[in-house]
């Protein structure tokens, strides 16, 4: 009998962890990625990974980590699964340490910890200011070892087009495109694990890499796989505004003592410290973002009247800062030209993290058997707002779990895809190749990159920090207009080799469909919870809205329905910092 075949789509932390776990249990794994796994967006995670390892003796424990995560997420996350990842976080940090992540150390050589928002414990293990990069490289090395043993094959650059779902509604593989040869190909997979990250690129500029376009999960949504909590998009309070993207400046800058201020009456005004004496600059991201908006937009007190505030590290010892935050301080200096060790940085909020994602059960399985999702592309760990430092433990945990549960699922199958007839795979391949060919032929007057920019501007203006129902409705009307205009795109590159316009055009269609899910989910939810804020409905409304949004594709747009949230461990209470 052949070995089980697992397809992992995405080579970031969640995808590589899933691949390692599945390979350890005897699967042959193919990892498909848009880029070399080392270049995945996980490399951009700066601050670190939360885990209550308590090496500083502050009395932290996974229980506090769990409770603060649920509270930080404004009670929208299913609590039992959150408990799963917060309990596992110390073990995952130790595993990464054994693999060789260069975590900063205490004087005695234990793993050092620093603070992030929404907690008073030092809980973030970190490797300078580039923790995600070090973690990603370490998993990449482990995967390279498995490649040498012939257990894993890594293929890039490949773009996901569609899952192969049989008549019984079971996932049997995927169709992808080789972005160099442009070949469209069907692959058999006894389980398919999606680990394609977030969707910041829908908003044009964000802290995300430009490959984070949500295209793969949108393709699945259009295949009737349920998408959940789409309206929950995290806006990070501190980024460096740029022309091509807005670059992240880690929350742990504030964890290490950074202060946010603007001038008031000629003197620095530390407005977060004044308004939140308990947590100060380390209030959770949704709150810090709204307050920066208030200062800049409502009070018009941004730096020189512009939409920016200071993030100040200049009072701290530069050598110590280099040790703790080196990589990102260099980045600020390169892109802005000022040395943040000497002068305050200028920052403004931007789109950062996708709390929503493909609906999954407690085993990371989507609504389609055999199809799994893990990492930022799943919906289930962060509720309405993610805490700083929680992205990486959640995606490591989800990846590990998906690797395990997909293998358990495969063991229960009667038949592996290797033994199935070619027909279904050939027809899925043909269908997608025909769709690809139809894009090559598009000869209208619209430019896909301009349409993308227009979409991003509308989404950023109307579906981020402050949301109004009339503007959300106008945004959906705009998206429908853009969908019509998409059909009039002219493809400016007809080459059948390393063509970037054709896949981008396909991805743009998917981005437009997913933007509707975000916009209409936000329109429907008449309350304020975590990152979702409506001035016309300023309070959290547990009686009506303590529920998960489910979006199912229909040709008339997303059909929304709702599901109860698991609140069996911590009773919801008002969220006050």
Query: Sheet harboring 557-564: ordered strands across?
Result: 357-358, 227-228, 547-554, 557-564
Which is nearest to 153 in space by CA: 317, 358, 11?
Answer: 11
Burial 479-497 (b: 16+ CB within 10 A, else e): beebbebbeebebeeeeee
Q: For another protein, which is the closer residue by CB, 408 or 450?
A: 450
- Within 114-143, the residues that bind another protein by CB under 8 A are 127-128, 130, 133-134, 137-138, 141-142
Q: For another protein, which is the closer residue by CB, 130 or 464?
A: 130
Q: With binding defined as CB under 8 A, does residue 104 bind another protein?
A: yes
Instruction: Identify the residue among 3, 95, 316, 524 touching another protein (CB under 8 A).
Output: 95
Instruction: Identify the residue among 120, 153, 224, 242 touching another protein (CB under 8 A).
Output: 242
Q: With binding defined as CB under 8 A, does residue 331 bind another protein?
A: yes
Smallest gap from Cβ 574 to another protein, in A, equals 37
- DSSP secondary structure letter of residue 37: G
Which residues does residue 123 pair with via DSSP β-bridges, in sequence order? none
The C-alpha atoms of residue 442 and residue 446 are separated, in whole angstroms, by: 10
Give 543's Cβ-side CA count (13 Å radius).
1
**Tokens 């460096």 map to which residue?**
240
The C-alpha atoms of residue 135 and residue 127 are separated, in whole angstroms, by: 9
Check residue 246 and give left, alpha or beta (phi > 0: left; psi -120 to 50: alpha). beta
Site string for another protein, 141-170 (x = CB under 8 A): xx-xx-xx----------------------
Q: With binding defined as CB under 8 A, does residue 559 bind another protein?
A: no
Query: Sheet harboring 28-32: ordered strands across?
Result: 152-155, 28-32, 5-9, 191-194, 371-373
Smallest gap from Cβ 525 to another protein, in A, equals 32
Q: With binding defined as CB under 8 A, does residue 320 bind another protein?
A: no
Q: For another protein, which is the closer residue by CB, 24 or 457?
A: 24
The C-alpha atoms of residue 51 and residue 34 are separated, in whole angstroms, by: 30
Q: For another protein, which is the closer residue by CB, 101 or 384?
A: 101
Q: With binding defined as CB under 8 A, does residue 501 bind another protein?
A: yes
Smallest gap from Cβ 553 to another protein, in A, equals 28
Instruction: Identify the residue among 1, 150, 167, 244 touching another protein (CB under 8 A).
Output: 244
- Within 402-461, the residues that bind another protein by CB under 8 A are 447, 449-450, 453
Q: For another protein, which is the closer residue by CB, 244 or 265?
A: 244
Helix locations, 294-390, DSSP H = 318-336
The C-alpha atoms of residue 485 and residue 477 are separated, in whole angstroms, by: 12
Instruction: Identify the residue among 22, 211, 360, 512 touching another protein (CB under 8 A).
Output: 211
Q: Which of 285, 386, 506, 516 is flagged as catalytic? A: 285
> Do the Cβ atoms of 278 and 314 come closer than 8 Å?
no
Q: With binding defined as CB under 8 A, does residue 61 bind another protein?
A: no
Smallest gap from Cβ 143 to another protein, in A, equals 9
The C-alpha atoms of residue 526 and residue 535 are separated, in whole angstroms, by: 10
Query: Sheet harboring 259-264: ordered strands across?
Result: 247-248, 233-240, 345-354, 309-312, 259-264, 267-269
Q: For another protein, which is the closer residue by CB, 42 or 367?
A: 42
Determine the 3-state secondary structure of 348 from DSSP: strand
Q: For another protein, which is the closer residue by CB, 253 or 565?
A: 253
Smallest gap from Cβ 433 to another protein, in A, equals 21
- Within 178-197, the residues that bind another protein by CB under 8 A are 180
Q: With binding defined as CB under 8 A, does residue 345 bind another protein?
A: no
Q: With binding defined as CB under 8 A, does residue 497 bind another protein?
A: yes
Instruction: Identify the residue among 3, 58, 87, 99 touching another protein (CB under 8 A).
Output: 99
Instruction: Identify the residue among 182, 210, 301, 567 touching another protein (CB under 8 A).
Output: 210
Angle at which helix 79-99 crosses helix 131-148, to 10 degrees, equals 70
Structure tokens at 491: 């493809």
Q: For another protein, which is the closer residue by CB, 51 or 230?
A: 51
User: Which range touches another protein (CB under 8 A), out of 327-335, 381-389, 422-430, 431-439?
Assistant: 327-335
Instruction: Identify the residue among 245, 290, 386, 525 touching another protein (CB under 8 A).
Output: 245
Smallest gap from Cβ 328 to another protein, in A, equals 9
DSSP conformation letters of 92-155 = HHHHHHHHT----B-TTSSBPEE--TT-SS--EE-STT-HHHHHHHHHHHHHHHHHHTTSEEEE
**Is position 386 annotated as part of the catalytic site?**
no
Site string for another protein, 11-30 (x = CB under 8 A): ------x--xx--x------
**Tokens 């549960």 map to which residue?**
405
Indicate which residues carry an active-site annotation: 285
């Amino acid at each position: 009998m052949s070995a089980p075949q697992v397809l992992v789509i995405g080579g970031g932390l969640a995808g590589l962890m899933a691949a390692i776990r599945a390979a350890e249990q005897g699967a042959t794994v193919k990892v498909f990625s848009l880029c070399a796994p080392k270049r995945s967006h996980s490399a951009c995670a700066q601050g670190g990974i939360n885990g209550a390892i308590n090496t500083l003796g502050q009395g932290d424990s996974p229980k506090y980590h769990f409770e603060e995560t649920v509270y930080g997420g404004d009670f929208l996350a299913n609590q039992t699964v959150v408990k799963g990842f917060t309990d596992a976080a110390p073990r995952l940090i130790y595993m990464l340490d054994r693999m060789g992540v260069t975590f900063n150390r205490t004087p005695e050589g234990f793993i050092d910890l620093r603070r992030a928002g929404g907690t008073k414990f030092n809980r973030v293990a970190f490797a300078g200011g580039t923790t995600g990069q070090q973690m990603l490289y370490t998993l990449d090395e482990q995967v390279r070892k498995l490649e040498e043993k012939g257990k894993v094959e890594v293929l890039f650059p490949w773009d996901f087009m569609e899952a192969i779902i049989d008549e019984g509604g079971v996932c049997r593989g995927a169709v992808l495109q080789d972005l160099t040869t442009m070949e469209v190909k069907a692959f058999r997979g006894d389980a398919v694990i999606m680990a394609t990250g977030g969707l910041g690129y829908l908003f044009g500029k964000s802290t995300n890499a430009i490959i984070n376009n949500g295209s793969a999960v949108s393709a699945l949504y259009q295949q009737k796989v349920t998408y959940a909590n789409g309206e929950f998009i995290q806006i990070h309070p501190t980024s460096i505004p740029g022309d091509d993207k807005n670059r992240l400046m880690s929350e742990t800058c504030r964890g290490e003592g950074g202060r946010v201020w603007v001038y008031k009456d000629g003197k620095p005004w530390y407005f977060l410290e004044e308004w939140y004496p308990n947590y100060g600059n380390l209030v959770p991201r949704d709150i810090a973002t709204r307050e920066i908006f208030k200062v800049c937009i409502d009070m018009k007190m941004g730096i020189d009247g512009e939409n920016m505030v200071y993030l100040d590290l200049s009072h701290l010892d530069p050598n110590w800062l280099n040790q703790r935050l080196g990589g990102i301080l260099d980045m600020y200096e390169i892109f802005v030209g000022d040395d943040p060790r000497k002068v305050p940085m200028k920052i403004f909020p931007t789109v950062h993290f996708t709390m929503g994602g493909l609906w999954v059960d407690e085993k990371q399985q989507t609504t389609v058997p055999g199809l799994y999702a893990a990492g930022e592309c799943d919906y289930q760990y962060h509720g309405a707002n993610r805490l700083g430092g929680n992205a990486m433990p959640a995606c490591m945990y989800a990846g590990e779990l998906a690797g395990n549960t997909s293998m358990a699922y495969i063991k229960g199958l009667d038949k592996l895809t290797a033994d199935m007839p070619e027909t279904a795979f050939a027809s899925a391949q043909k269908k997608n190749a025909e769709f690809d060919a139809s894009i090559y032929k598009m000869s209208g007057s619209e430019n896909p990159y301009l349409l993308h920019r227009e979409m991003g501007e509308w989404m950023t203006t109307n579906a981020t920090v402050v949301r109004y129902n009339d503007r959300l409705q106008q945004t959906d009307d705009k998206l429908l207009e853009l969908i019509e205009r998409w059909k009039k795109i002219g493809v400016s590159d007809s080459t059948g080799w390393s063509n970037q316009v054709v896949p981008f055009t396909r991805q743009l269609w998917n981005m437009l469909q997913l933007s509707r899910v975000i916009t209409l989910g936000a329109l429907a939810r008449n309350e304020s919870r975590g990152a979702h804020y409506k001035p016309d409905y300023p309070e959290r409304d547990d009686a009506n809205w303590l529920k998960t949004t489910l979006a199912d594709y229909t040709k008339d747009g997303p059909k929304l329905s709702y599901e109860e949230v698991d609140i069996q461990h911590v009773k919801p209470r008002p969220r006050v910092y």
